[in-house]
Every structure is written in structure tokens, then in C-alpha cells.
Structure 1
Amino acid sequence: MEFEGQYRLAQSPKYDCLLFDLDDTLYPFSSGISAHCTMNIEDYMLEKLQIEKENIPDISNILYKHYGTTMAGLRAIGYKFDYDEYHSFVHGRLPYDKLKPDLVLRHLLLSLPIRKVIFTNGDKIHAAKVLNRMGLEGCFEGIICFETLNPPEDSSFSEDEIAETEIFDILGHFSRADANVELPKSPLLCKPSEDAMIQALKIANIDPQRTIFFDDSIRNIAAGKRIGLHTVLVGKSSRIKGADQALESIHNIKEALPELWEEAEKSEEILYSGKVSIETSVTA
């Protein structure tokens, strides 16, 4: 009877899933990938959407601030474009060679017999390239990405649809003193939208109360906290409102959350000790 109680405890750790953002979380902001991504987005706005060059930085910043991603904001204000083409332009030209294999992180991830899932606003090709360059293939159960939350059937538009597009004047909206007109909503789901995050958890069958969420974005962390996730801000040494913990680097995960490894060791000791007389199997 006493052992049965121990077994149930071992099978029910406090957390059963680690949810990781990808960019600037699994690798540092200092890699320069983020800066190149911003440049590519602005080039796309200029070359593909014919937005006036002098307005692009302000429009991009406003859209990112209010919609989570510039892409979601562009769709909200009326621009229609092929999503795959956008991702190919923005991510396809990134200097992935700046990312190097991270054997330390790989060892840390693989040393935990717990579900590990990626949750990124990026597309699946980008996510795969990042994980490949970092040598992190096989470390995660799955990837929640742009395509997960945004069906491919909505990703292309006819020339007539594009020609008939009416663009919402986002700069004019914020320059007017009396801006009572509501901002248009985006048809795209992405962080930090709580709807997007709840949908992502539902798709992956993740219980927020038993999940630790790692992200470099303060907005994403705040949204994660509101929906019940245990939140860890990555890339900062100081904890902010909405973050349960802060890590200067993802490499500090074991120092900040030693209980994860302690629980794993206890579970292993109980499950595989000589006291166990039945054959057991563990699915990580």
C-alpha cells in the first residue's frame, strides 16, 4: 500500500509539459537573426506591397505592437498576400549560419523525461531550419507554428481580390487626436493573442496549469500568465510582472528549475528500484 502511494506521486509531477518559444529564446537575441528578420519584413513591405519607404518603419512598429506580428497587422489593415511567399521572403534569406549546434542545451532537454513542445509564430520551415542548425532535432515532441493555427486554405488570394483591397490608414488613425474608430481585427492567429494561445494548447492537448512556458517576449509572457501557464521570461535577469521567473539564458534552466530534474530522478528511482515486481513502460 505504501509503495502504491509513492508510485502515484511519481506519476503525477507538478509539471508535465515544457512549452518553448523558438526565436530569441532557444538562441540569444545577440545572434542577429531577429534584426535580419526585421530588415526582410521591411523589404517585403517595400518590394511586394509597394508601401512608401519612409512610412515602413513606423507602420511596421505599430503593427507589431498592436497585432503581435507585422504579418498579422498587414492582413488586419487590408493587405492580401500569399503566406508561403511571405515566409519564404522573410525567413528564407536569414543568415542561419549564425546559429551553431548547442550540445549543452540538447543535453539539458534530453535529460528531462517530460513533454517538450515548441510554440512559435514562425512557419514550419523556419522552425525546422533553426532546430537543425542548433542540433536540437528529436528534442521536442512537436511544433506549434504559424500553419498550426492558420489553415493553408486561407493562404492565397486571386489577383482580383488583391486589386480590390482597401487599405486601412493605420498611420492616420494614430495621428488623429480623435481616433475613436476601432482597429480592424486580423484574420491570423498568433501570440500574444490569448485566443491563439488557448487554441494552441487545445490542439496540443496541453494543460496550462501543469505547463512551464518559456518566451523572450514580455507580452507573450503576460498573456501566458493570464491563461494559467507558469511563465519564465528568457533573456532577462530581472523578473517582470507576469513572469514567475526570469532566465538570462535558456542554459540556466536547470539552475532555475532544479525541481524538474529532482522529480525526474525520484520518479526513476521509484519506478526502477528493486521493489518493483511488475514490468513498467514510460512514454516521454
Structure 2
Amino acid sequence: MTKTSRRFTHIDTWVFDLDNTLYPHHVNLWQQVDTRIGEFVSAYLKISADEARRIQKDYYRRYGTTMRGMMTEHGVSADDYLAYVHRIDHSPLEPNPAMGAAIAKLPGRKLILTNGSTDHVGKVLERLGIGSHFDAVFDIVAADLEPKPAPQTYQRFLALHDVNPAKSAMFEDLARNLVVPHQLGMTTVLVVPDGSKNVVREDWELEGRDAEHIDHVTDDLTGFLQGLSETR
């Protein structure tokens, strides 16, 4: 599944989201985080699980992350929030040496841009066995707690790592997080579920694959990256 738009021959910096991008959607690792976010909201606001769920998803959509909404609306400590919601079981993740080899063959730098924490990133990459292939991680703390898709987050990322967006590609599972990168000149790749297993996502999270700001779509990131190495 590839749209013919911006290509990859000029790319020297490869930017990857983490969750549901570097591992398959159907692992549902993020479902664990999602559950713990609901628990945090419920306990902090002293409300029912159903009401917490409503607020959680409302803040997620309006603020980019539930955490940002909880910080803005209720003064929540980011450190407390991140420590709680990322305390999950990473064992469902399996090593992916084929992806690691494909990433290693890409010319130039490989960076991670995530709304998660570096601690969570480290655990995911360790389980996947691909951590050595990345040059740096830009997490929610580096973003000054402003999550994607906030424009200033991408600007901060580009400046901190001296990235030329016109020579960069970004891989993401949420179409809305690729709007600004595309505007900045990045080649965008939307990573979608392969349809083989059930995934736990909101309907809007699965939308956008036909949007103009999406240059390429893939349901097999490893295969897609292998293809890039073969065609360059």
C-alpha cells in the first residue's frame, strides 16, 4: 500500500514514532497504558471509571495527550503521571531482528520522536532488540511536555537535533501527527494495522490514510523499510 507522492532518495534523517509504529498495533501494548491512564484519572479526580474514561478520551483528542489535559485542567504533576501510566508489562513485545537490520541499512541518522517517556522507550527498544540502531530519542520531557501534534513540538525537535525537514522522513501511526511534518517538508509514512488481528483503537485514530498530507501508507513497516533499502 504505497501512495506515489514524496519519495526517499534524498532522505538523510529517519524519524520514528514509537508506540503502534515500531511494533504492531495488535500487540495492544498501548492498551495497558490506556487502562492505567483511566485508573490515574479516576483516582486523581475521585470519579467513576466511566466518567474517567470520558474525560481521558476527551483530553486525549483535544490536548494531544490525556496528560496535557490533566496538567492544564487540574495541575497534575507530569512526573507522577508518567511514572504511573508507563508501569506496564512489556513482555508481549518480541525481538524483531529483521526490522533492526532494515533500519540499520537506512543511510543517515535514525531518531525517535514520541509522546511517551525515555524510560518507556528504552524498555520497548530493549524488548524489540533494536535500540542500538537509533541515534537519539526526543520524548515528552524534551518537548517541554507539549505533545504531538503541537507545531512547537516539531520545531523544538528539529532545532535540538539539527534536522532538515526537507531531507527527512517520518513514520507515525496517527495521521494527525503527520500534518505538521508534511507542511514542514518531511516525507510522511502512516503505519496502519495489518488487519490480521483485533486492535484496540478509537475510530478517529484509524482515519486519515487517504489524506493529502500522507505520502505513503504501510501495514508492514519491516517490509516497507526492507523495500526502501533495496530500491535506493
| TMscore range, shorter length | 0.7 to 0.9
The alignment partner of 2:45 has SS state of: coil
The amino acid of 2:167's aligned partner reads: R
Deviations 1:127-151 (A, max 9, x none): 000001110121101000012122x
The alignment partner of 1:89 has SS state of: helix
Kindly tell me: are residues 250 and 53 of structure 1, through their superposed partners in 2, closer, same or farther at Cα, counting changes over 3 Å? same
The alignment partner of 2:107 has SS state of: coil
1:47 paired with 2:43, answer: yes
Please say which structure displays the higher CA radius of gyration.
1
Deviations 1:76-107 (A, max 9, x none): 22x22332221111011x12000011111011
The amino acid of 1:30's aligned partner reads: H
The alignment partner of 1:149 has SS state of: coil
For 1:51 and 1:205, locate their aligned partners in 2 and report how far apart those are by CA, in whole Å.
Answer: 44
Residue matched to 1:83? 78
Q: Select 1:127's aligned residue among 121, 133, 138.
A: 121
Q: Select 1:213's aligned residue among 161, 166, 170.
A: 170
The amino acid of 2:153's aligned partner reads: A
TM-score (norm 2): 0.84
For 1:204 and 1:255, locate their aligned partners in 2 and report how far apart those are by CA, in whole Å.
Answer: 25
Deviations 1:145-182 (A, max 9, x none): 012122xxxxxxxxxxxxxxxxxxxxxxxxxxxxxxxx
1:226 paired with 2:183, answer: yes
Residue matched to 2:135? 141
- Does the 8 Å CA contact 2:175/2:209 hold for their aligned counterparts? no
1:17 paired with 2:20, answer: no
Question: What's the offset of the Cα at 1:24?
Answer: 0.2
Count, aligned residues: 210
For 1:262 and 1:250, locate their aligned partners in 2 and report how far apart those are by CA, in whole Å.
Answer: 15
- Does the 8 Å CA contact 2:12/2:107 hold for their aligned counterparts? no
- Does the 8 Å CA contact 1:215/1:232 hold for their aligned counterparts? yes
Q: Select 1:95's aligned residue among 89, 110, 120.
A: 89
Higher relative contact order structure (alpha carbons within 8 Å, sequence separation ≥ 6): 2
The amino acid of 2:52's aligned partner reads: I
Q: CA RMSD in A?
A: 1.8
For 2:56 and 2:96, locate their aligned partners in 1 and report how far apart those are by CA, in whole Å.
Answer: 32
Kindly tell me: are residues 51 and 207 of structure 1, through their superposed partners in 2, closer, same or farther at Cα, counting changes over 3 Å? farther
Percent identity among equivalent residues? 27
TM-score (norm 1): 0.70
More deviation, 195-204/97-106: 195-204
Question: What's the offset of the Cα at 1:32?
Answer: 1.4
